[in-house]
Structure 1
C-alpha cells in the first residue's frame, strides 16, 4: 500500500469555492486509476500547533506503487496539480508532499 500525502498552505485569498473545485477534481480521479483505493480530504485538526501553515490536506491511497505512478502520470492529475500549486502560498513552496509505503 502507498499513502500519497499532500498538505497545503493555501494563499489567504483562496476561497472555499476554489478549494471545493480542487477537492471535487481530486475525487473525479478515483475511477480513472485502477488501484486507487481511497481519497481522504480534511482540514488540519491537530491541537499541537506544529502545522507551519499547512491548513488542509489529502491522502490518496493506492494498492501498489505502479498504481500511484499511473496516477502521477495522468493528464487530469496534472490539471488538478496545477490548480493546487496556483492556490498555494508561494506556489510549490506552499506544498508538502510525501509518500508512505507499507
Structure 2
C-alpha cells in the first residue's frame, strides 16, 4: 500500500464519519440513542479522540516502546488520564477536570525536572 493510498483512505473515512450523521439527519437511526448505528458513530469519534490523546501524551510511541522506556512521568500521565476520565464521568464537566489534571502535571513536571 503506498502512502498516497493510505492518505486517501484516511481522508475518506474521516470525512465519512463526520458527514454520515448529516446524511441521516432525518432518519430514525440517529434519533434512537440506544441503536447500534448511533453508538457506532459515537464510538468511532471517541476512538479518534483517544488516538489523538495517546499520541500527544506519549510522543507517538507504540505500546512496546512505552513499556520498555517507562518513566515516572509516564505513570503520572496514565494516572491523570484515568483520573480525568473518571472525574468527567462523575461530574459531567470537562474543563474543571482538565485544568486540575493540567495543574497536577505541570507541578509534577517542574518538581521532577528541577
Under a length normalisation based on structure 1, what TM-score does the superposition of the two structures give? 0.31
**Bigger Rg over Cα:** 2
- Scaled by the length of structure 2, the TM-score of the pair is 0.29
- Name the structure with the higher helix share: 2
Structure showing the higher strand proportion among its residues: 1
Q: Does 1 or 2 have the higher relative contact order (CA < 8 Å, sep 6+)?
A: 1
